[in-house]
């Protein structure tokens, strides 16, 4: 088992001793000791009982420690009381090491049952199918994918959705470009179609709207036809958006991201979902028809704030806004309304994961992609809209249903990275804008990172063949990009710098991957699988003990990360694990240890580290190369 056993044993014994001593019941904390000299685990029960017992914290802790000494249990070797009143415990390292290392070889190591197979939906990506994915989109994609992986590890039944806004304004823009703007349907040779649509058609046509009002008029017509869905224009729009989507998904798959279902906005608009939800909101008085003012003829949600304007759901011309389309989608995800869709096979993804897509044709299959809880990953600039949706859902949701907006801040480009776009920023970071063409495509970043990584891998491993070097380069490039998007708190703006993300030093993906490569080299040189059915009482240095404890914390971090929807916790754990191993690597001899028994015990620790890091990195969607 893991370090959790030590914590649980201490908690159970303290609770029993406190009861036996007749002390009042209090919710005390068991936590890792703040300093190594205090031991491994600390408890604050003395402070919590000081007032009701009218005694000093240290006096109460002494009484508990005296009783604990009589039956220290399996995982505790020593109990002390700090003068301040904390109760401190030293682990029985031989027992703990054996428990942790043997458990770490199990396939499901780190798994902890938080979800109890509860159905949960994670929706992420949801990029307009009119352009390629840029680095700002990548943060959304990686957050969503990582959260889904962590929730699965925490025993939730997870379904991952990607909402395809194929009937919105930005799609109308590129259709206008193709139909009325003079742009050829096919891009230049070797240019990805999504790059062509975003970098050329979309940016150019939006610049022309002010100079050519007739184009803006065309856009309104195109938008209405896209929503109605029966015209030749709508069919052309479907063809274009599906080609863009196909290229976007190639980028997502390159990043190691997979989904369960694609949900098309056009089908949600054409289904009976919107009509049902609209009538329900009218009857409940959630929305109102404006009879005067600038919003006359519009259906709106009244604002509760004097500083915020009413939110329009349906414009006076009958066209639904973004939020109007999202409300029925939210009810569908939670299974509040009857599912109007059938499902058909879209693609087979990595690890034989089927990607389905919605269809209104009854030639498909009936499946269930709803959840008891829905997590929608959308950047913090959409917070107000998400609050409105959350409020509406809470007004007419079924019992126990929960809609959660997981927000995050934007990604800016460092001044050095901006220079790769020939942008001079005066040494400042720059905010991306798809409409202005100020962004770095994800494919471009992965290509550049891959080239740099390939050159370094070839320099370090001249004996490796081309196929292996390319594979390593891609694994490290993806790892560098994914880790840079996950290691920050969600409420912090990321300033992305390509050079920094590739560093083998500091808090980066390649630094962590390199620790795994080091462990693999040791095991390769050993030439044998270590024997775990031995005593580990000789693993008693500070570096060995710290590594054992860090390995043993894996499932505790999975639990915390799942409960808090915080992917950063797993990123931090991977980094701490790599730091602990590198300290061990630099200070402890493994293959030249003083005895065969010591060599075996340390090889077990290296193996345990390797297995745990691979499992932890997989939650971040990062591969662990054997060579770097």
pLDDT-flagged residues of the chain (< 50):
none
Residue 334: which of 489, 108, 161, 484 has the closest Cα?
A: 161
pLDDT of residue 2: 79
pLDDT of residue 32: 93
CB burial of 171-180 (b: ≥16 within 10 Å; e: otherwise) equals: bbbbbbbbbb
The number of beta carbons lying within 10 Å of the beta carbon of residue 243 is 16
Could you tell me the two tokens for 13? 């014994």
Helix (H, G, I), strand (E, B) or coil at 271: coil
In this structure, what is the dihedral angle of CA atoms 251, 254, 259, 264, given to the nearest 10 degrees?
Answer: 10
pLDDT of residue 435: 62
- H helical segments located in 351-465: 383-396, 415-419, 442-460
- Please list, in sequence order, all residues whose beta carbon lies within 8 angstroms of the beta carbon of residue 370, skipping any fewer than 6 positions away: 119, 121, 159, 332, 333, 334, 335, 339
φ/ψ of 143, rounded to 5, equals: -60, -50
Return the ∠ at Cα 370 (arms to 369 and 376), rounded to 5°: 100
Residue range 152-200, pLDDT digits in tens = 999 999 999 999 999 888 999 999 999 999 999 999 888 999 999 999 9
How far is Cα 447 from Cα 192, in angstroms, rounded to an integer? Answer: 13
Residue range 319-373, pLDDT digits in tens = 778 788 788 999 999 998 889 999 999 999 998 999 999 999 988 899 999 999 9
Question: Which CATH code for domain 442-619?
Answer: 1.10.730.10
Bridge partners, 262 (sequence order): 162, 357
pLDDT of residue 90: 96
CB 85 within 8 A of CB 29: no
Question: Which CATH code for domain 3-91?
Answer: 3.30.1360.70
pLDDT of residue 618: 98
Determine the straight-line distance between the first and last CA of the chain, rounded to whole angstroms.
31
CATH superfamily of the 124-270+336-369 domain = HUPs (3.40.50.620)
How far is Cα 609 from Cα 292, in angstroms, rounded to an integer? Answer: 68
Which residue's entry shows tokens 């685990």? 41
Q: What are the residue boundaries of the structural domains of the chain, listed by start?
A: 3-91, 124-270+336-369, 442-619
How far is Cα 573 from Cα 555, in angstroms, rounded to an integer? Answer: 11
């Amino acid at each position: 088992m893991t370090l959790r056993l030590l914590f649980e044993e201490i908690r159970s014994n303290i609770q029993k001793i406190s009861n036996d001593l007749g002390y009042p019941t209090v919710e005390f904390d068991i936590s890792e000791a703040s300093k190594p000299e205090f031991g491994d685990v600390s408890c604050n029960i003395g402070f919590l009982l000081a007032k009701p017992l009218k005694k000093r914290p240290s006096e109460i802790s002494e009484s508990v420690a005296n009783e604990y000494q009589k039956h220290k249990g399996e995982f505790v070797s020593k109990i002390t009381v700090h003068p301040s009143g904390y109760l401190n415990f030293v682990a029985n390292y031989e027992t703990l090491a054996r428990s942790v290392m043997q458990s770490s070889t199990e396939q499901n190591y780190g798994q902890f049952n938080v979800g109890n197979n509860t159905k949960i939906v994670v929706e992420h990506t949801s990029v307009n199918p009119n352009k390629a994915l840029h680095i700002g989109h990548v943060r959304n994609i990686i957050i969503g994918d990582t959260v889904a992986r962590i929730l699965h590890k925490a025993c939730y039944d997870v379904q991952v959705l990607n909402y395809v806004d194929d009937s919105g304004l930005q799609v109308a823009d590129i259709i206008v470009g193709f139909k009325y703007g003079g742009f050829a349907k096919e891009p230049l040779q070797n240019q990805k179609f999504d790059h062509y649509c975003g970098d050329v058609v979309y940016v150019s046509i939006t610049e022309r709207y002010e100079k050519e009002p007739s184009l803006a008029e065309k856009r309104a017509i195109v938008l209405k036809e896209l929503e109605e869905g029966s015209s030749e224009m709508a069919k052309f729009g479907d063809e274009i958006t599906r080609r863009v989507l196909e290229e976007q998904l190639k980028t997502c798959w390159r990043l190691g991201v997979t989904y369960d279902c694609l949900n098309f906005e056009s089908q949600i608009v054409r289904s009976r979902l919107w009509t049902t939800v609209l009538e329900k909101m009218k009857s409940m008085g959630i929305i109102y028809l404006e009879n005067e003012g600038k919003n006359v003829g519009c259906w709106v949600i009244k604002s509760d704030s004097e500083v915020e304007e009413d939110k329009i759901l349906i414009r006076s011309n009958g066209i639904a806004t973004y939020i109007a389309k999202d409300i029925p989608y939210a009810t569908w995800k939670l299974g509040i309304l009857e599912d109007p869709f059938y499902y058909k096979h879209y693609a087979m993804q990595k690890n034989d994961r089927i990607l389905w897509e919605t269809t209104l044709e009854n030639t498909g299959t009936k499946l269930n992609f709803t959840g008891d809880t829905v997590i929608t990953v959308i950047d913090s600039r959409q917070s107000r809209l998400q609050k409105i949706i959350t409020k509406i859902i809470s007004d007419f949701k079924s019992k126990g249903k929960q809609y959660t907006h997981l927000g995050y801040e934007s990604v800016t480009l460092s001044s050095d990275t901006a220079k790769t776009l020939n942008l001079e920023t005066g040494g400042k970071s720059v905010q991306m804008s798809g409409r202005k063409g100020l962004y770095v495509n994800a494919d471009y970043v992965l290509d550049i990172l891959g080239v740099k990584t390939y050159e370094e891998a070839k320099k370090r491993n001249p004996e490796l063949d081309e196929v292996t070097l390319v594979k390593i380069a891609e694994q490290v490039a993806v790892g560098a990009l994914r880790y840079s998007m996950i290691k920050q708190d969600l409420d912090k703006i990321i300033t992305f710098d390509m050079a920094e993300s590739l560093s083998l030093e500091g808090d980066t993906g390649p630094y962590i991957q390199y620790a795994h490569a080091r462990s693999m080299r040791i095991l390769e040189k050993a030439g044998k699988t270590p024997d775990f059915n031995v005593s580990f009482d000789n693993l008693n240095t500070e570096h060995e003990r710290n590594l054992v404890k860090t390995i043993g914390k894996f499932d505790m971090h999975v639990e915390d990360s799942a409960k808090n929807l915080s992917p950063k916790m797993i990123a931090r754990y991977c980094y701490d694990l790599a730091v602990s191993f590198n300290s061990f690597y630099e200070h402890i001899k493994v293959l030249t240890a003083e005895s065969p028994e010591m060599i075996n015990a340390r090889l077990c620790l290296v193996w345990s580290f390797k297995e745990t890091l691979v499992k932890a990195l997989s939650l971040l969607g990062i591969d662990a190369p054997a060579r770097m």
